[in-house]
């Protein structure tokens, strides 16, 4: 018995030594709560999801969602203005804790970042200039097109331009959505593909004169999620529940009516998300 007890004491000591050499690390969720501030990456040139009002204050669906998340956590909100190409770098560099920036849940991005369950669903449309002769997506073959670098629509459009193999056709990428709209208004490009929410908002604003929506792009629904670094599982679990409760409470519909109008699309995917 003494020999067994001696062996057990050695084993217990070894286990304790390992535990002390690998102290428990707080999850990012704990860090956010302890800091008292949520740094939320939002794209602010993407109305009505994110933009600035006349007083330069961040506004939009994503901004309000960030505010709701900060309130749920019991912390202050710091909006981090983050262009589309900088969404993942902002998380990796530690400049932001989470991203609520209309990020499509691609498998390639999932190698670097973690996604929550879907929080918004977009459809894609063709935006062109009145009088361009473009009436549908099929008319983009052989045309000068453009899109925002790093977005799902830019990737899809680039694939089609290459597939069409028309020497007159091309695609340019820009660092921001505003740059795309300016290039379109100035005739540098002839069309772009953007979300229906952005397209109708920019046409309604008349900021870039003469822009019109000409039909849907055949990309299917674009499902977007909240993002955090993939190893931050505790935070991702919290984000999943937050999105769930936004929908259950009616807040998702409330924000949709406020910023887009009408009935919010279902966030479910038949046979996958319920």
**Mean pLDDT, the chain, as a whole number?**
89
Is residue 8 pLDDT above 50, yes or no? no
Lowest-pLDDT range of 1-10, 99-108, 242-251, 252-261: 1-10
Which residues touch 14 (CB under 8 Å, ≥6 apart)?
Answer: none
Nearest Cα residue to 218 out of 138, 104, 108? 138
Element (H, E) at 21: helix 2-21
In this predicted structure, what is the pLDDT of residue 274? 57
In this predicted structure, what is the pLDDT of residue 108? 92
Instruction: Give the mean model confidence (pLDDT) for residues 165-191.
Output: 93
Please list the residues that pair with 148 across neighbouring strands.
174
The whole-model pTM stands at 0.73
Lowest-pLDDT range of 43-57, 171-185, 198-212, 245-259: 198-212
Domains of the chain plus CATH, in order, are 28-122+222-259 (3.40.190.10), 124-216 (3.40.190.10)
């Amino acid at each position: 018995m003494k020999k067994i007890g001696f062996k057990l004491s050695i084993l217990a000591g070894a286990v304790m030594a390992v535990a002390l050499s690998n102290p428990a690390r707080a999850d990012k969720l704990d860090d956010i709560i302890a800091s008292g501030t949520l740094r939320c990456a939002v794209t602010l040139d993407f109305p009505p999801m994110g933009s600035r009002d006349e007083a330069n204050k961040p506004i939009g669906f994503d901004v309000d969602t960030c505010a709701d998340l900060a309130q749920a956590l019991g912390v202050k909100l710091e909006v981090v203005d983050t262009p589309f190409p900088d969404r993942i770098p902002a998380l990796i560099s530690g400049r932001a804790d989470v991203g609520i920036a209309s990020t499509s849940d691609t498998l390639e991005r999932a190698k670097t970042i973690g996604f929550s369950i879907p929080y918004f669903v977009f459809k894609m449309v063709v935006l062109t200039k009145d009088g361009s002769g473009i009436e549908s997506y099929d008319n983009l073959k052989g045309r000068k097109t453009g899109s925002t670098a790093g977005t799902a629509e830019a990737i899809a459009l680039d694939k089609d331009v290459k597939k069409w193999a028309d020497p007159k056709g091309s695609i340019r990428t820009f660092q921001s959505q505003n740059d795309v709209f300016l290039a379109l208004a100035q005739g540098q490009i002839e069309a772009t593909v953007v979300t229906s929410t952005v397209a109708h908002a920019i046409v309604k604003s008349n900021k870039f004169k003469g822009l019109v929506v000409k039909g849907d792009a055949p990309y299917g629904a674009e499902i977007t999620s909240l993002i955090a670094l993939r190893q931050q599982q505790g935070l991702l679990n919290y984000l999943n529940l937050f999105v769930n409760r936004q929908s259950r409470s009616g807040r998702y519909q409330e924000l949709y009516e406020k910023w887009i109008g009408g009935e919010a699309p279902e966030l479910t995917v038949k046979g996958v998300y319920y």
